[in-house]
Amino acid sequence: MNKPILIQNIIKRFNKKINMSADKSLSIRFAILASLATGKSKAYNLLKSEDVMNTLKCLKKLGVKIKLNEKYCSIDGRGLNSYVFKDNLTIDAGNSGTAARLICSTLIKSPKKIKIIGDKSLSNRDMKRVIDPLKKFGANFYPKNKITLPFYVSGTKNIRPINYKELRGSAQCKSAVMLAALSARGTTKLKCKPSRNHTELLFKYLKIPIKITKKKGFDYIEVKGGENFNSFNYTLPGDISSSAFFIVLTLLSKKSILLIRNINVNPTRTGVIDILNLMGAKIKLKNKKTYKGEKIANIFVEGSQNLKAINCPTNLNSGAIDEFLIIFLVAAKANGISYFKKIGELNQKESRRLEWGSKILNMMGVKTKLTNESIKIYGQPNLVLNKKYHIKNYLKDHRIFMMCTIAALTLGGKWKINDPDSIKTSFPSFLNVIKNIGGELN
Ligand code: S3P
């Protein structure tokens, strides 16, 4: 049942230690790379959210043997281009842009036609950003000129390496090209605006031939394709994007303290911490360690009264791309006018997040100035809400749902927030963690 949740009270002061659900980006990458490896790979603590389950379902349909139980997920890889499926097979990526774009790129050497579909939100999202490079490799897409799902992809045996510039700072596009490069004999060369680098770190760990250099604010990546790699085991750390909601819940709750254990704090993902610390938060990373190239730490955060506005440096955008909604909430409580620019990509997400973020702040009585690319938020340090607020169904965006829940628990008002089921996409236990900290939900 997907009954709206009602929140009528702000959360009481808390002092807790919590675990977070596993990293979504890494869970999806584990599954896809394991399906291309040679041998049985195992993941412990894989995220069991709809995006990851849809990734596994797609791979199963492509003939990959997968076992999933309480303890682990094992995947029997048979090497590059080893998927076995019938012509005209349909695979459904659900709500997951990462699954659709990354799996698509693993299919470019198979001459059989395969139909890729997704839910309503995913079917509105731009796929040209991966179609273009994949066509350069030699893959075909039908109907011609269609740039959204559903569409058909069919590969060819004559895949050739490419040179490609990825200038959006999109990790999905970069990863799609890197995965496609595995099918092409020879060296694919990428010039990329920096973005989360999990795929690069996994390639290195798996000893896939990869060379990375950094020059004048760009990453230059070379991947040599055509060589199989061995299966691997992976234990998933917690997700910083899911943690971000609890970081802000704590920050905006007077005298509260929270420790979030074992989170992936890869510097390409910690934009939210950098931005909030620039706004006056004192978020600390404790017990830092490295696991297979990834940085892991406990995140320590305390409630803060003196938050100040930010003119957000654009080099932090890509590392906070999924966290802007919750950062906007902090800006609404900060002293001064915050300015976030060059974030038009937010309107390409599960919903038009830049626009919706602004509308929700306006509904709360917070003034904003919005363009297609930027937002100014006029902060009110004494902001307290006391009206009724209803977030309706049509949004269907997990991060909007979670942002509104945190607003209700920290700023007050009587909230009715539709579509709690949306959290299944990335963070199925979100409401349980809220309750465990003391949030009252009806
Ligand atoms: C992701 C990359 C980001 C992010 C998405 C997950 C990934 O998208 O918004 O939730 O796992 O690579 P873009 O790379 O398209 O910005």
Q: Check if 5-20+237-437 and 24-225 are the same fold.
A: yes
C-beta of 188 in contact with ligand 1 (< 6 A): no
pLDDT digits (tens, 9 = 90+) for 46-92: 999 999 999 999 999 999 999 999 999 999 999 999 999 999 999 99
Active site residue 322: yes
- Predicted confidence at residue 395, as pLDDT, reads 76
Residue 184's CB is within 10 A of a number of other CB atoms, namely: 21
CATH number of the structural domain 24-225: 3.65.10.10
Q: Which of 23, 25, 174 to mutate to test the pocket of ligand 1 (most atoms within 8 A of CB)?
A: 25
- Predicted confidence at residue 367, as pLDDT, reads 98
Separation of alpha carbons 405 and 428, rounded Å: 14
Ligand 1 centre to CA of 192 (Å) is: 14
List the one residue out of 304, 301, 199, 162 whose CA is nearest residue 240: 301
- Predicted confidence at residue 132, as pLDDT, reads 98
Residues 117-153: b if buried by 16+ CB within 10 A, e if exposed = ebbebbeebebebbbebbebbbbbbeeeeeeebebeb
Q: In the structure encoding, which two tokens stand for residue 91, read together?
A: 């695979």
Q: Which CATH number fits domain 5-20+237-437: 3.30.200.20, 2.40.50.140, 3.30.43.10, 3.65.10.10?
A: 3.65.10.10
- Predicted confidence at residue 1, as pLDDT, reads 60
Please give the order of strands across the beta sheet that includes 257-264.
15-19, 257-264, 294-302, 284-291
Identify the three-state secondary structure at position 34: helix
- Predicted confidence at residue 393, as pLDDT, reads 75
- Predicted confidence at residue 396, as pLDDT, reads 83
- Predicted confidence at residue 304, as pLDDT, reads 94
**Atom 13 (ligand 1) nearest CA:** 170
- Predicted confidence at residue 305, as pLDDT, reads 86
In the chain, where the domains are located: 5-20+237-437, 24-225
Mean of pLDDT over the chain = 97
- Predicted confidence at residue 24, as pLDDT, reads 98
Binned average pLDDT, 10 residues per bin, the chain of 442 residues: 92 98 98 98 98 98 98 98 96 98 97 96 97 98 96 95 97 98 97 98 98 97 97 98 98 97 98 98 97 98 96 97 98 98 96 96 98 98 97 87 98 97 97 98 94
pLDDT digits (tens, 9 = 90+) for 302-334: 999 899 999 999 999 999 999 999 999 999 999
In Å, how far are 17, 19, 24, 197, 269 from 261, measured between CA atoms?
7, 5, 16, 22, 16
